[in-house]
Structures are given as structure tokens and as C-alpha cells.
Structure 1
Amino acid sequence: MSPDTPVNENKDQFRPDDHDNDHFLLTTVVGSYPKPKWLNRAKELYQDDDHEFDAEDWQEATDDAAQLITAEHERAGLDAVVDGEMRRNEMVEFFAHRIEGYEFNGPVKVWGHNYFDKPSVVSEVEYDDSWLVDEYEFTAAASDRPVKVPITGPYTLANWSFNEAYDDDEELAYDLADLVNEEIEKLVEAGARYIQIDEPALATTPDDHAIVGEALERIVADIPEEVRIGLHVCYGDYSRIYPEILEFPVDEFDLELANGDYEQLDVFKDPAFTKDLALGVTDAHVAEVESVEQIEENIEKGLEVVPPEQLVVSPDCGVKLLPREIAYGKMANMVEAARNVEAALDAGELDVERGAPTPADD
């Protein structure tokens, strides 16, 4: 879509036919979800050369896990589901294994006791086979709800890799954006209508929003208007990228704000937030289930920035590091809170009047 496309034009396609309230706050997840413990054990067996657990067994295990977590998202009541990224390991590593031009040198410590196999770009990146179409088609067949497809964005794929082949990360990011565009075209052909580009590196690196904007222009080139494109950003100072991000050709911005107790909320009030806001209303870093009442209060903070028709509800980030029962409790309470806020809006019980912030400069 272009920056001038009206917001919400493609949001109502995700409203369930039997939705009870006149208002609709789309509920979804960012992407990752805790893996069942037995899946981790199955991976150990698959990676053990002395064990007879083979590729076919591993395929069956990941299929079972994906179906289980998709059903868990449905049980929680989410409007748009994900398979919890059961087939993925780490958000850069997964895609780098599928892109020609990357090599791996061994694990790098990222935080605490967590490591990831940080790749190097050693030659010009090229597209080979599809990365996510099989994953999408399996999830879509396992659910009667809309399926969202998260993809790590080209800026993060470039920024979180060692660049040994390109003059700079900007050139690398643009080539990667062309590959992401090719993958999205295949996903759309397979039926996907909700694509989320994950760019956690954006708000941590000053002054590179123009690179991300150009990369997004390449990503959405020739993508039909009815396909909803979201951008997930987390971990950083949003004042570095706002209001410039309003020029990005996306429908929604998915933002981590609950973890910072909404201290950065005011950043998005002036100039006016002209896109859809997918507001993080549960903290993905705290292993406690927020009450329905607390999440309702968090959702109402989003109404200080955008009207209800521009608001989407999600957790802050992927929840894969939480205990599974905690992750589920957060999702179920989040959906209940969203439905309660919708009912209150229907009844005129919420004052959603915001100030009159100045529009962003053209």
C-alpha cells in the first residue's frame, strides 16, 4: 500500500462473522510462543546421530506442535492466529539458513544464557526456495481463523549479521528486501492476507529509519491493497523514529509499550498517529498473568493515541521465553479484556476523546 492509503481499509476482513460487539479490536500475537517440552526433546533426538529419530519423525513432531499451538491460540479466542513459530529457532538464524549467501560460524551470546548462531554474509544474497509457504499453508489448513505470517525484516537480517560481502549494511538490506518481496508474493499467492515484518533493530539504531522505509517500499512493491502489512518494532527509543515512520508503506505498527509501563506513549500523540496501532498490552518479559482489569486499562491507553477503529491488541513481543501456561493466560485474558472494552465502547461508557494533535508534515 502507499503512505496515502486510508487506514483500516483491510482490517475488517479479520472480524469474525459472529462477533458480538459493534466495535472490533483485532486481537493477535506477535509471533513466537513457548514450545512444548516434548518438542525440545524431539529436537535433541533428531540432532543425535546415534538415534534413529529421523527427518520424517522430526517433521511429524513439528507438525503436531504447530497444530497444538494454533489450537491453543484459537482456544484463547485470538482473531488472527500464528503457529507459534514451532518450526523456527531464532528470528535471524532461521531465515539465514534459507538464503543463499549466508554462512554460520558458531553461537554468539546475546543475553543471559541465551545464544544464537550469528551468521555471516559472505556473498551476494539470493532467493532459492520459499521460506514460509509450507508453514503458512499448514497453519491455514489447521485453523478456520485468519493466519498472520511474521517475517524478520531485511534491516534486522542485515544489522544482526556479520557483513563480509557488501560495501555497507544499507546495500545488503536493500538486496534482502527484494528477497522478502519475492517471498511475500508467494505467500499472497498461497492465500496469506496478513504479513508482519519484524524489525526489532530499528528503534535501537538512530537515523536509519530512511533505510527501513526504502526497504519497505521494495517489500510491498506490487503487493495487493487487501493484504495487511504490519511492522513490529521493539526495544528502543521510539522518539528516534517518530513521526518519520508514518511515511512507511504499512497498515499497522506493532509496538512494545507495556514493558516500559507506557512511558513512551506520548511520543505517538503529536503529530497524530495516522496508521493502525497494534498496542502491546501484556508484558512478554514478566512471567505473571496480568488481570483482565489491568489489560483493559492498558488497552484504554491505546485509545489515548488512536480511535477504536485504528486499534489492534497484542502482547508486547513474542512470548517464547515464558512458561506455556503463563503465555496462554496472558492471551486468554487479553482477548477477554478486548471484548470488555469493545462492549464498553458500544455502551458509550468510555470517553475516547483525544486532543487535537498537529498532523504530520507531508
Structure 2
Amino acid sequence: MAEPLIPATVIGSWSFPGWYEKFVGDVKDRPELYGPVDREEAVRDAIRLAIDDQVRSGLDRITDGEMQRVDFNLGFYEYLGGLEPLRKARHWGAPAHDQRDRYRCIAPLTAPEGLGTTTEYHRLREYTTGPVKIPIPGPFTLAGCIDGGDVYPNRAATAEALIPIVAAELKALDAAGVDFIQLDEPSFACHPDAPDYFLDVIARTVAGVKAYVSMHMCFGNYRARAVGHRTYRPLFPHIGRARVSQLALEFASREMAEIELLAELPETMDVAVGLVDVKNTWIEPPGLVAERLRAVLKHVAPERVSITPDCGFSQTARHLAVAKARSLAEGAAIVRRELGRS
């Protein structure tokens, strides 16, 4: 099934159904309550619901909603050998990034069974034949939750150890038939001070990958909180040299600030622009999405544009995610009609 001009899609995650979030918490706290068949059934039901939500919303390319990436099943750090969990610095009070899970290296990092994304893809394909994409965190972002301990002296060294692990996972997705991979590297948007290092990390991570690769760079979304200075200016123009086919960038939460930067990208680089804000609880009407899209098209040809939420919907209430996704799809349809490409 071919995508239309200016396809509407998601970044990766979808909002967990309430029952599934409860289930995930129960499995983490009391794993004896559920056997392997119970767990598999719940994961598959959640995948089917995520697909149904996205398709009914009118999205053109979907994911499994990252429903499989829960602690008991496919959490990326659980696939990495050489780690021990650290106690959280803070459990109570206003949510912030210091409440995220963190790990310490006690041995060199390994991933003898990969990172699980090919399993995710095969499960997803059991329920849809339409266009899909598989998101995967990049090595620098994965390194952000890891203390190198006595094994790696700093974050760059930890990321270096993760490059071959992520690169092998991308090649495995290639071999499985995935035609669209999204490399999630928001940490580079939040730490833009070493562009040559950044471009080298990306180039080595994606080397030899045949699939279309999009690179997502937002400003963080843990508990709907940003974590970096919300400007892309330091990334330009060198980000246009990244060895990827598409950049996925956050604009809605910043009221479309810096949209003119897109004109600095080479014509060979596609863009996925965030036109609805996942951090607020207001539903952007389709007309506003269309207005924002028209602003994008002043700088980039429509053939190079996809539209997305700013980030994943994992931190957004499900009914809001559905409504915002519907506005995305309807806003794209308005502009396609104006362009005579409905």
C-alpha cells in the first residue's frame, strides 16, 4: 500500500491502555501472578489495540505503539549484558528525569541475543500488512542511562561500546525485511556541542543499512518534561550531512519556532515535522495542523515532508493521542486537497 503525499505518522510510542499499564506494573511488582501465556496474550492484545487506534485515526504509517517494550519483556537494557541496576535518586515529588531507571557497567557491554526489535517487527506483521516503521534508540541516547563504572570512563566511551550493538540490530532489521527504521537520538539535540563526533557516531551506526532511516531528535519527553535547551540552531547546517534519509524534529511545542531552518537542509534530506504537541492536553484542530503544514511547505517541497506528533504518545492520555492523531491525518488531507493531490 503506497503512502500518500505528506503522510501522517507517529514517532514511535502510543499511549498505553489503562488496563495494560496496570498489567505492566503488576508484572513488575508481582511477576508470579502471570505465566508466559498470560504475558504473551496481553502484549498481543495491546499491539492490536495500538494498531486499531492508529488506523482508525487515519495515520498512514504506524508502529506497534512500543507496547512490547516493557520491563518484563523487551526493555532494551534487559538485553544488555554487563549492567546492574542502580537505585533511583528520587521516587517522590514532581516528575523529572532524575526518576528514570539507571544502570552501572560491571563488565563490557554485550547483547548476545540482540535488542529484540526483530521479534517486535514479526509480531507487528502478524496484525498489519500496511506501511510500518521500527524505532530503535541510538547508541548515544542509550548511553545516557548508563554509568560506565570502572569499565568505561565517560558517556562517549559507553556510546562507543554500544555502536556495534545498535549497528548489528539495524542490520538484523534489514535482513528481516524492515523498510523504514527510525533511529531515536534526542540526546544529540540536547547536547549539540560536538557535531563532528555526532555525525561520525551516526555514520558508523547506520553503515551498510539498506532500509530508509529516519533520525528523531526531540528535546526529551519523560513525564512530558523536556530535558534540553529547545533550539535546533546549533545543529545547523551540519546536521544536513547526517547519513540518514530523514530528520524527525519537534516544532509544535515551540509554536513552530525555527521552522525556517529546514531551508538549510540539502534537497536530498527528507523531514518529519512535529505538528501536534504531545506535552499538552489541548487538541489541535485540523485547521491549525494545516496552517502549520503550510508554513513548513514554504521551506521544503511537499514530496520531502511527513507530519508527526513532536514525540511519542507514551506520556499522553490515550483519548488525547487518538484525537491528536486524527487531527494530524485530517490536517494533511486538507493540504493535499489544496495541492490537488487528494
Q: Name the TM-score, length of structure 2 as normaliser.
A: 0.88
Q: CA deviation at 1:89?
A: 4.1
Q: What amino acid does structure 2 have at the position aligned with 1:292? A: P
Q: Confirm whether residue 77 of structure 1 aligns to residue 58 of structure 2.
A: yes
Summarize deviations over 1:105-140 as a string: whole Å, max 9, x none: 123459933532112233221221132111111112
Aligned positions, number: 325
SS in 2 for 1:187: helix
Mapped contact 1:66–1:84 kept (Cα < 8 A): yes
Partner of 1:112: 94
Partner of 2:113: 129
2:239 to 236, 242, 245: 245
Q: What amino acid does structure 2 have at the position aligned with 1:57? A: D
Overall identity of the aligned pairs, in %:
27
Partner of 2:67: 86
Partner of 1:96: 77
Q: Name the TM-score, length of structure 1 as normaliser.
A: 0.84
1:156 to 141, 159, 165: 141
**Which structure: greater helix fraction?**
2
Distance 2:19 2:162 in 1: 34
Q: Confirm whether residue 35 of structure 1 aligns to residue 16 of structure 2.
A: yes
Q: What amino acid does structure 1 have at the position aligned with 2:258? A: Q
Q: CA deviation at 1:247?
A: 0.9
Partner of 1:15: 2
Summarize deviations over 1:239-274 as a string: whole Å, max 9, x none: 111111111100000000110111122333346565
Distance 2:31 2:61 in 1: 41
2:205 to 216, 219, 235: 219
Give structure 1 stretches of 5+ with no counterpart.
1-13, 349-362
Give structure 2 stretches of 5+ with no counterpart.
220-229
With over 3 angstroms needed to count, the CA separation of the structure-2 counterparts of 1:158 and 1:187, relative to structure 1, is same
Mapped contact 1:281–1:295 kept (Cα < 8 A): yes
With over 3 angstroms needed to count, the CA separation of the structure-2 counterparts of 1:168 and 1:116, relative to structure 1, is closer
1:317 to 294, 311, 317: 311
Q: What is the alpha-carbon root mean square deviation over aligned residues?
A: 2.2
Distance 2:277 2:29 in 1: 36
Summarize deviations over 1:273-328 as a string: whole Å, max 9, x none: 65111000101111121101000011112112211011111100011121111100
Q: CA deviation at 1:53?
A: 2.1
SS in 2 for 1:309: helix
Mapped contact 2:286–2:331 kept (Cα < 8 A): yes
